[in-house]
Amino acid sequence: MKSIVILISGRGSNMRSLLEADLPGCRIAVISNRADAAGLAHAQALGLPTAVVDHRAHALRDDFDTALARAIDAHQPDLVVLAGFMRILGEKFVAHYAGRLLNIHPSLLPAFPGTHTHERALAAGVRLHGCTVHFVTPDLDAGPIVIQAAVTVAADDDADSLAARVLAQEHLIYPQAVRWFLAGQLQLTKDGRVRLSAAAGTQCCGALIAPQMQPEAQ
Ligand code: GRF
């Protein structure tokens, strides 16, 4: 049985989409850096294993990363999923989980890394906006892209309406990426490229999806 650890900091709607996705044969644990994260209460109510690793208890970023990795590794995860986890993780931490650490970001990367993506998309006047699932590298919101979904930006959109449409797509593409990973259809190659097997389907949603399918290993 595969093991997944989901890291959250707040609301946890992406975590919920993963929990509701009926992922085949896996154990899921949830870890938050905030004890008051709403998503944590939801995971606890479902009886999932949970833990809190409070970043404020660690003066040094490295010490927080070490404590977090210890809590994660207690579950011997095949995959670690950042789902609205609002801490920047150090190089050593990222290297430890290389090829098994995914993040979701609310923009069509490489556009708008960082925060306030919806406001920035509106200010830039883009016609397409969306979300991206990517493997995590030490550079913020810059790792190899697994899947993206796009939404059109309407003339009367504000940041909230745009965020809501993007979030609905996040809830579709993140479970899809995790399903691929669990099925062994999604890998990060040694040279940092995403390999998605041709057997992987994209039946998840009607949005514009941009997976990088590649033939099975020759
Ligand atoms: C999502 O928009 C996600 O893309 C970003 O933070 C937000 C978290 O939302 N990284 P939730 O906690 O999953 O509801």
Nearest in space to 97 (alpha carbons), one of 114, 60, 72, 74 = 72
Atom index in ligand 1 nearest the CA of residue 163 equals: 2
**Amino acid type, 89:** L
Instruction: Give the pLDDT confidence score for residue 204 in this predicted structure.
Output: 52
CA atoms within 13 A on the CB side of 196: 18
The residue assigned the tokens 């890291």 is 7
Identify the burial level of 77 via C-beta atoms within 10 angstroms of its C-beta, where 0-12 means exposed, 13-18 middle and 19 or more buried. Answer: buried
Ligand 1 pocket member 84 (CB < 6 A): yes
Instruction: Give the pLDDT confidence score for residue 217 in this predicted structure.
Output: 45
- Tell me, in angstroms, the distance from the centre of ligand 1 to residue 138's CA: 19
Instruction: Give the pLDDT confidence score for residue 200 in this predicted structure.
Output: 81
- Tell me, in angstroms, the distance from the centre of ligand 1 to residue 191's CA: 29
Q: Are 211 and 202 in contact (CB under 8 A)?
A: yes
Instruction: Give the pLDDT confidence score for residue 218 in this predicted structure.
Output: 40
Instruction: Give the pLDDT confidence score for residue 211 in this predicted structure.
Output: 56
Q: What six digits make up the tokens of 97? A: 């989980």
Cα gap 40→87, rounded to integer Å: 16
Per-residue model confidence as pLDDT tens for the chain (218 residues): 999 999 999 999 999 999 999 898 899 999 999 999 999 999 999 999 999 999 999 999 999 999 999 999 999 999 999 999 999 999 999 999 999 999 999 999 999 999 999 999 999 999 999 999 999 999 999 999 999 999 999 999 999 999 999 999 999 999 999 999 999 999 999 999 999 988 786 555 545 555 555 555 44
Catalytic residues: 105
- Residues β-bridged to residue 200: none
Cα gap 143→146, rounded to integer Å: 9
DSSP for 11-70, written as a single string: --HHHHHHHTTT-TTEEEEEEES-TT-HHHHHHHHTT--EEE--GGG-SSHHHHHHHHHH
Nearest in space to 134 (alpha carbons), one of 88, 170, 87 = 170
Ligand 1 pocket member 117 (CB < 6 A): no
pTM: 0.93
Domains of the chain: 1-97 (3.40.50.170), 104-218 (3.40.50.170)
Nearest in space to 86 (alpha carbons), one of 31, 10, 163, 29 = 10
Nearest in space to 14 (alpha carbons), one of 163, 181, 194, 210 = 163
